[in-house]
Amino acid sequence: MWQGIRGHDDVVEQFRRSLACGRLASTYLFVGPAGVGKRTFAQQLAAALLCPATDQHDLTACGQCESCRLFAAGNHPDVDEVRRPDGKRTLPIELFVGDRDHRNQQGLCHNIALRPLLGRRRAAIIDDADWLTVESANSLLKTLEEPPPGALIILIGTSRSRQLPTILSRAQIVRFSRLPGDDAAELILQQQLADDREAALQLAELAGGSLEAARELADPELAAMRDRFVGAFDRDRFDLPRICTDVLQFVNAAGKEAEAKRARLRRLFTLTAEAWRVRLRDNLQDGATVEFMLAAMDRTLTAAEQLDRNANQATLIECWTADLARLRPAPAAAH
């Protein structure tokens, strides 16, 4: 376990080999599932490379020097971290080149070009790189093409497909995998998201090795909504308007921000699909049930894809639920 980070020892070795060969790049793009530690890894990598008290080839930070103390406090003068502001769907250009009154006098691109104040290099971490606009990405081009000596720039996203070509062509890609079950379960227990190891392992599997997903899936309100939704299809009389209203109210309760609502609906899709997968496993002898469960899982995964393409949430919920109601087996006739 490197610097307290679980599950990514292979990435650590990749960087150690690069340092040993003198081939540390200036710009990296970290891609992989959300919630597996990419941001924490980027921060610890920067801390290790900035620490003047250790050999940077070891990729360890002493934790005691002025550089390490300032980094831990979030006040290191040679480090810039940017991420999407609250309530914004994109990374605005002002984060990189300053506002209109201070163009090229403020922002990440200006700061990364300054001489380091404490030692070896300057570092910049750009979170939420999936949400770079064309304008913001273009403002980075000169910095990425001609980085200052010793500068380290790390962009953090989820997949190559969500990155702009101007970024992909100028960054070395580092892939992060989902956390192994044991590591994810240990982190889940540390954060008290589960009561015991067996429950933690189940939550880790359901969350796909993502601590962020595990945190959201552990929400008791989410589990209750899943049970109400799935259970509605077991009743002889299916109340489509009622269940649509319930789901929409549940999603809207996430808050005013559109992204928070979208995340909550996405997790409901994940939990619902998993519930039907479990039912499928337990009902393999019932042909009609198997057919419905398979169709329900497929339709739910399709709904999740449509959500990521910014489908209107109210319309998406209505169409998803109506399609599932149409697919469900006819209630058995009363005797």
What residues does each domain of the chain span?
Answer: 9-175, 180-211, 219-327
Q: Reply yes or no on whether the pLDDT at 264 is more than 80.
A: yes
Q: Reply yes or no on whether the pLDDT at 333 is more than 50.
A: no
**Mean pLDDT on 117-142:** 92
- Taking all residues of the chain, what is their mean pLDDT, rounded to a whole number? 89
The region of weakest confidence among 71-75, 126-130, 161-165 is 161-165
**In what helix (H) or strand (E) does residue 155 lie, and over which residues does it extend?**
strand 152-156
Q: Reply yes or no on whether the pLDDT at 234 is more than 90.
A: no
Give the residue with greater pLDDT, 290 vs 26.
Answer: 26
Residues whose CB falls within 8 Å of the CB of residue 3, separated by 6 or more in sequence, listed in order: 44, 47, 48, 59, 60, 61
Per-residue b/e over 128-158, b at no fewer than 16 CB within 10 Å? Answer: bbbbbeeebbebbeebbeebeeebbbbbbbb
DSSP annotation of 249 reads H
Given this model, what pLDDT does residue 80 score? Answer: 95
The region of weakest confidence among 41-55, 105-119, 220-234, 283-297 is 283-297
Nearest to 210 by CA among 230, 191, 228: 191
Q: Reply yes or no on whether the pLDDT at 332 is more than 70.
A: no
Give the residue with greater pLDDT, 312 vs 58.
Answer: 312
Q: Reply yes or no on whether the pLDDT at 112 is more than 60.
A: yes
Q: Which two tokens stand for residue 215?
A: 């945190």
Given this model, what pLDDT does residue 284 score? Answer: 65
Q: Reply yes or no on whether the pLDDT at 135 is more than 60.
A: yes
**Mean pLDDT on 90-94:** 93
Q: Reply yes or no on whether the pLDDT at 331 is more than 70.
A: no
Alpha carbon 325 to its chain's center: 32
Beta bridge mates, 172: 28
Dihedral, CA of residue 184, residue 185, residue 187 and residue 192, to nearest 10: 140
Give the residue with greater pLDDT, 284 vs 253.
Answer: 253
Nearest to 89 by CA among 250, 334, 262: 262
In which band, very low, low, confident or very high, does the pLDDT at 65 lie, cut at 50, 70 and 90?
A: very high
Digit-coded pLDDT (tens) for 24-55: 999 999 999 888 999 999 999 999 999 999 88
Q: Which two tokens stand for residue 259?
A: 């992204």
Digit-coded pLDDT (tens) for 202-213: 888 877 788 887
Nearest to 206 by CA among 264, 271, 159, 250: 271
Task: Please report the DSSP string for 173-229 in residue order.
Answer: EEE-PPPPHHHHHHHHHHTTSSSSHHHHHHHHHHTTT-HHHHHHHT-HHHHHHHHHH
Cα of first residue to Cα of last residue in the chain, in angstroms, is 63
Residues whose CB falls within 8 Å of the CB of residue 224, separated by 6 or more in sequence, listed in order: none
**Mean pLDDT on 62-77:** 94
Q: Which CATH class is domain 9-175?
A: alpha beta
Dihedral, CA of residue 107, residue 110, residue 114 and residue 120, to nearest 10: 60
